[in-house]
Amino acid sequence: MITRDTHAFLAFARGCATDFGPATARAAFLVAPDGFSLAEQSAQDNRYMAAAGAFDAARASQQHRELHRAFSAALPTVCFAGNPSTPDALFPNNVFGTAAGRYVVGRMRHEVRQREAEREDIRAFFAGVLDYAEIDLSAQAHPCELTGALVIDRARGLGYCGLSERCDEEGARLMHEAFGLRATLLFELAPGEYHTNVVLAVLAGRAAIVCPQGIADPGAVEAIAALYAPHVVRCAPAEHAAFVGNAIALSPDRVWMSAQAGRALTSEHRDLLRGAGFEVATVELDAIEAGGGSLRCCVGEIF
């Protein structure tokens, strides 16, 4: 099922057992922020990006290394070298994604990011080292920026796809098929939003963080909240702006977000996550957040 009908989606999703696959990844991959700088093409539709003068490449590299170290204590994490010609490459989950036995290459909207899909070393890692089959969507015409545009409940096999310049309906269909999902809910992102994973996180199939102001259809917000109730964080505007929605669970008991997001998270919402079985872990990423993404954007998951 792939639909905009929130009622039909919710009725179907409530019948889905949490047996689709592991709820969290078995490993993660990163791409170093080598040559980190303002990507002017990406800035056209990413309001979260800072001006060029706010980019500090050395600090971003140091923070990225701390992120790698923190993740490595939780699960196997590999980091590929960056490339100064691809300044957004530290957000690899938009370009490469995985499901059981296969990897998916996305179609990026901007040419500067399309170059990332040409990385033969990353492709060779998935195809040659992990022996994953390839599904390459990068050469077709429809933007589909993988787990930036598509938030996946891996336990149930459900997708939540926000449509914007970074993903159209055909791109959503292609991703739905590539990841082999049971059902995907389509909805428009609010004006000014570019990726779903900035305004929505599904945590190990047990909880959700949603930024209602980032989703144009209130019915989609309510359907998501109904499915994961009572473990639903509805972000206030300050939490939304601080990237609380750009969080990820890499294990069943911990949710990761940036230190800025952690400071913005209210005590009530922290307690709600604790009640769902999650402690909050944070890493300082203010230099990286100048690039218009936060912690979850940096993480490629290996299932």
- Is the predicted pLDDT of residue 258 greater than 60, yes or no? yes
pLDDT score at 245: 98
The mean pLDDT value for 164-183 works out to 97
- What residues have CB less than 8 Å from 31, skipping those under 6 apart? 79, 80, 81, 82, 89, 90, 91, 92, 122, 300
pLDDT score at 289: 93
Q: Which pLDDT band, with edges at 50, 70 and 90, does 35 fall under?
A: confident
C-alpha distance from residue 27 to each of 22, 24, 76, 299, 302 (Å)? 12, 9, 5, 10, 5
Q: Which pLDDT band, with edges at 50, 70 and 90, does 112 fall under?
A: confident
User: Cα-Cα-Cα-Cα dihedral of 245, 94, 298, 296, to 10°?
Assistant: 20
pLDDT score at 159: 98
pLDDT score at 297: 97
The mean pLDDT value for 127-132 works out to 98
- Is the predicted pLDDT of residue 40 greater than 70, yes or no? no
Tens digit of each residue's pLDDT (9 = 90 or more) over 54-97: 779 899 999 999 999 999 999 999 999 999 889 889 999 999 99
- Is the predicted pLDDT of residue 51 greater than 90, yes or no? no
State pTM to two decimals.
0.95
Three-state secondary structure call for residue 273: helix
pLDDT score at 119: 95
Q: Which pLDDT band, with edges at 50, 70 and 90, does 29 fall under?
A: very high
Helix axes of 218-228 and 6-13: crossing angle, nearest 10 degrees: 10
pLDDT score at 42: 64
Tens digit of each residue's pLDDT (9 = 90 or more) over 187-222: 999 999 999 999 999 999 999 999 999 999 999 999
pLDDT more than 70, % of the chain:
95
- Structural domains in the chain, sorted by start: 2-302 (3.75.10.10)
Three-state secondary structure call for residue 255: strand
The mean pLDDT value for 115-126 works out to 96
Q: 223 and 6 in contact (C-beta within 8 Å)? A: yes
Question: DSSP state, 214?
Answer: G
Q: Which pLDDT band, with edges at 50, 70 and 90, does 135 fall under?
A: very high
- Is the predicted pLDDT of residue 250 greater than 60, yes or no? yes
- Is the predicted pLDDT of residue 50 greater than 90, yes or no? no
The mean pLDDT value for 101-123 works out to 94
